[in-house]
Amino acid sequence: MGLLLACLSTGCCGLGRCPPASQVPNADLAIGQLRVQHACSRAIRGEAKLDYFDENGRVRVDTFFLAQHPQSVRMDLISPLGGTLATLTSDDSRFALLDQKDKSFYVGPAAQCNVERFLRVPVPPAVLVQLMAGEAPVLVHRPEQATLHWSGGRYVIEIASKNEATEVIELEPHEADWDKPWKEQRLRVVAVSVSQRGVELYRAELKDHRAAATAKPRIDPLGIDDPILPSGPQCRVEIPRRVRFVVPVSERDVVFEHQEVEHNPPLVPGSFEQQVPPGVHVRPADCR
């Protein structure tokens, strides 16, 4: 009864769930808490459905993905018949795309625009890696440029950054942690939006958060090579099983639906690189 009266007095129950009794004091502490939660996850690997809508219609394909902090990513798109349609790799400096259909191999810098041409998502590789892992990319800002408040049953962080850019990050405490002190509350990123000069560049919606296990070592079936150990420590951090990107300007709607995902997979040298295969046309990819 006391909690109900408190909610009615503040008006929060009509707008969503009431805030925890112990609330995170400010935006930078909330951001820091998120980073601590995800510190054990150095990389993720999994299978997903990639589903997107744009001016050309709808495309839905299976993809195997591998991502490592801060911005290395690999995606293999699989045809319904089982063959590989295309492979994208991007590390700290080099972007490569092998298009099997056109027998073309595109090479260029690891720039946002190159990744966007393939995945239809206008975000830098580092941002893509963070959001796929359930983390929040954070625009550069001074402490006084970030505010935190409770609205609609979640924490809302608002950030004013450089070049008239703004960001909104929405967080929800884990259900089991609602009554815990704020330092012990696990926070889920449920939405991130970035705008510039009042125009929304993208909005990411993260749903269906579930804990993921650490990958097992990679064992040579012939017993010749030593096992390759996981690329990070044991980790049970939650990962969203659905990440949706909405791009109002270009009317794009891109959804990643994770079928399987795990933390810190073993990584072999060259995981995020591609060599030019025989019989393809090498083309520059520098959309800047």
Confidence category of residue 187, pLDDT binned at 50, 70, 90: very high
Instruction: Read off the tokens for 18.
Output: 């009431």
Task: Return the percentage of the chain with pLDDT > 70, whole number.
Answer: 92
Confidence category of residue 209, pLDDT binned at 50, 70, 90: very high
For the segment 240-263, the average pLDDT, to the nearest whole number, is 90
Residue 79, CA distances (Å) to 85, 87, 129, 210 in order? 6, 12, 23, 28
pTM: 0.89
Task: Give dist(CA 149, CA 159) in Å, integer.
Answer: 12
**Class for the domain spanning 21-284:** mainly beta
Nearest to 133 by CA among 246, 247, 238, 277: 238
Q: Is the pLDDT at 4 greater than 50, yes or no?
A: no
Whether the Cβ atoms of residue 97 and residue 88 lie closer than 8 Å to each other: yes
Q: Which residue has the tokens 């939405």?
A: 191
- Parse the chain into domains and list their residue ranges: 21-284
Of 104-118, 222-236, 237-251, the one with minimum mean pLDDT is 104-118
More confident: 76 or 59: 76
